[in-house]
Amino acid sequence: MTQYPQSGIPGQGPAYGQYPASGYGQPPASSGQPPRPLVIAVWLMYVAAVAEIGYAVAEGRWLGSYMSSLFTAIQAAGTSGSGTPVPVGTIKDLFLIGSIVVGIVAVLIWLWIAWKNRAGRNWARVVATVFFGLSCLGLPELLTGGHLSAMPSTLTTADGATIAVPPLAVPAWLIAAGMVNWLLGLAIIILLWQRDASRYYDAVSLSRRRPAYPPYAVPGYGAPGYAPPGSSQWQPYGQPPAAPQDPQAPPRPPLA
């Protein structure tokens, strides 16, 4: 008599509940861990997020000082004497708070992009690249210390008085801080577009698009209605499963 293995049919077959070797019904291949360039890029994003807060505070202090000097010049040139002068401290505080709020928003964007890039979302890499391209637009003005801005040298009040506008001279330490942020962004973009990183993005995209089919069951391979050999419900390959036995009927003799 032919001896049936545990799979229920002659020959070697996969164990009960396993996927067949053909590939049908197999789960999507795992994309694995992020490659080293992507991991470094994500950590640099965290560093850039921390640096963004420091840069926002420094820029807010400088901008507040500049705008307070401008408002002071405008108030000193006023000839009508109407209006209440705005305290210099209030002007500085307003610009500092505004810069901090902008910095917090930038930090949240950095963290969000880092999280999505580590997860292998290709659109997050594109968004990071677009943001870096936008930051490059202000690079010439940063390198020249703000001398390329369209800020006029004088202003004329409603009374006809002429006001000398303070020069918009960005300090060297602020230029250096801005360049550090820009270099961090450049390094991040280079790492995100490395070949290993691109393969990881492609693998994640493929695993998300590939449908997860249920395991393909062949009769005798764990399909419904078939039981392991030796059980009361087991039937040789090619025969339909037996009807459920009446609990009042005497037990069937085991198969030889």
pLDDT of residue 186: 95
pLDDT of residue 24: 43
What's the number of domains the chain is made of? 1
3-state secondary structure 112-139: HHHHHHHCCCHHHHHHHHHHHHHHHHCH
Q: Residue 85: which domain range?
A: 36-209
pLDDT of residue 71: 76
Note whether residue 239 is domain-resident: no
Which residue from 136, 132, 108 is spatially nearest to 52, judged by alpha carbons? 108
pLDDT of residue 120: 92
pLDDT of residue 65: 82
Q: How far is CA 99 from CA 56, 59, 64, 65, in A?
A: 5, 7, 9, 13
Which residues in the chain land under pLDDT 70? 1-31, 75-86, 146-161, 211-256
pLDDT of residue 90: 79
Note whether residue 118 is domain-resident: yes
Note whether residue 224 is domain-resident: no
Note whether residue 235 is domain-resident: no
pLDDT of residue 213: 53
